[in-house]
Amino acid sequence: MNYDFSVGFWRKRAVKAALDRRDDSQTWGGHSLRKFPSDALAIQKLLCRCRPQVVVELGTQYGGSALFVSSFAAIAGINAIVSVDLDDLEKPKIPIATFITGDSGALETVAKVKALVGSRTCSVIVDANHHAEFVDKELTHYAPLVSPGQALIMEDTHVDVLNFRKFREHGGPLRSIAKYMPQHPELELTTDIEPYLTTNFFGYWVRKK
């Protein structure tokens, strides 16, 4: 399947203005949450719809995102969060969360995550190293963990859409999505989740049941 990953000028301009205002620098429960409020609500909407038993998060940072997911976990049927980050930063205490310090692209880390997920239904949020070469590895390792009817959320594709200098030569998450998804028609792009103001352009996918 071929996808059109183009974004109009005015939408790009609106997202750039929101970034300039630092609308992606929020807090949740006093902990840093590096997301647009609109994306946070979109993630909540999709996970509440999919109702995974486990959410795997690649890219913990200070734990604000894991804390956010835990805040609606009970109503979404989520009973575990597995969050991976290369840096061992101070994080909030979240009873249902297991934090793994390690390279999310390393086979040792992948094995730990798979063991923690087990046979439970799983959705995956990809928000670690945004360089395309690294995201390619994450998709190879973690996209198969996404259960039928569950979500694969790819964050920060805006670095490609807005042509960030750091990603111009080798690309970011959107370049990985554009390469991976045509080969995996079992994953479908949602049509009613992505907000107008987003850093996750074309980032909300669901595996067919």
Whether 139 maps to a domain, the answer reads yes
Whether 165 maps to a domain, the answer reads yes
Whether 16 maps to a domain, the answer reads yes
Instruction: Provide the domain count of the chain.
Output: 1
Whether 4 maps to a domain, the answer reads no
Confidence of residue 1 (pLDDT cuts 50, 70, 90): confident
Confidence of residue 98 (pLDDT cuts 50, 70, 90): very high
H-only helix segments in 118-209: 132-142, 158-161, 173-180
Return the pLDDT at 126: 98
The 204-207 sheet, strands edge to edge: 97-101, 80-85, 54-58, 122-126, 151-154, 204-207, 187-189
Whether 23 maps to a domain, the answer reads yes
- Per-chain mean pLDDT for the chain: 97
Tokens of 71: 């805040």
Average pLDDT over residues 27-53: 97
Whether 13 maps to a domain, the answer reads yes
In the chain, % of residues over pLDDT 90: 98
pTM above 0.95, yes or no: yes
Is the separation of the CB atoms in 197 and 14 below 8 Å? yes
Average pLDDT over residues 6-18: 98
* CATH number of the domain where residue 73 is located: 3.40.50.150
pLDDT in tens, 102-158: 999 999 999 999 999 999 999 999 999 999 999 999 999 999 999 999 999 999 999
Whether 3 maps to a domain, the answer reads no
Domain span including residue 24 = 9-207
Whether 106 maps to a domain, the answer reads yes
